[in-house]
Chain A
Amino acid sequence: ETGVTQSPTHLIKTRGQQVTLRCSSQSGHNTVSWYQQALGQGPQFIFQYYREEENGRGNFPPRFSGLQFPNYSSELNVNALELDDSALYLCASSLSTGPGELFFGEGSRLTVL
């Protein structure tokens, strides 16, 4: 048990819809990052949030956006869903933005029909 919690665990959407995924970081961790894991592949970095601001972004389009709140929890929003957005979305928290261990939640599995 890492202390990182994500919701919802599973959800189904249709193309063109929007989705919001939520993450509560481990106690004391001020940095949250999001990863997308397609079936059979390793996770891919989407972005990181530190002190409520985006602090690094991977190769994902602007329709992937996020928020971090004063309590360090975070949201991932995806607009105009496409079939290829079907994946496991993983949230990770860490003590800081520097070198250090990341702890992952159980993930939110999104299916886009």
Chain B
Amino acid sequence: GIQVEQSPPDLILQEGANSTLRCNFSDSVNNLQWFHQNPWGQLINLFYIPSGTKQNGRLSATTVATERYSLLYISSSQTTDSGVYFCAVRNAGNMLTFGGGTRLMVKP
């Protein structure tokens, strides 16, 4: 099956700093989503981005499907950005395959 790797696994930032999270995948995909998992466990949709670039406020994402990676940019980080960020992909069939996540802590 498709492999998904996220980096870095852990990230500590000072409030106001910028960061880039990376997702590499091993095969072509028809679905790629970025999620933020809050402390209560809910997966919050950030981007549905199988290709191209999208922006939503301080967050933006770029997927280069031909090179099999996606990037999530967080600018001017806030303490509420803390949590786990997951990349998930689907290439065929019915399942999303998740990466191991990036655990982000933003300090005040």
Contact = CB atoms under 8 A, between A and B. Distances in A.
A55 B41 CA distance: 26
A16 interface: no
A70 interface: no
Contacts of B43: 43, 90, 104
B83 interface: no
A107 B94 contact: no
Nearest to B92: A99
Contact of B33 (A2, A102, A107): A102
Contacts of B97: 45
Nearest to A105: B42
Contacts of A100: 31, 48
Interface residues of B, number: 23
B21 to A, nearest CB: 14
Interface residues of A, number: 27
A68 interface: no
A56 B95 contact: yes
Contacts of B93: 56
B41 to A, nearest CB: 5
Contacts of A97: 94
A41 B101 CA distance: 8
Nearest to B94: A56
Contacts of B48: 100-101
A42 interface: yes
A11 B17 CA distance: 39
B69 interface: no
19 contacts: A2-B45, A33-B94, A35-B96, A42-B99, A43-B86, A43-B88, A45-B94, A45-B96, A45-B97, A48-B95, A92-B96, A97-B94, A99-B50, A101-B48, A103-B45, A104-B43, A106-B42, A107-B42, A109-B41
Interface of B: 30-31, 33, 35, 40-43, 45, 48, 50, 86, 88, 90, 93-101
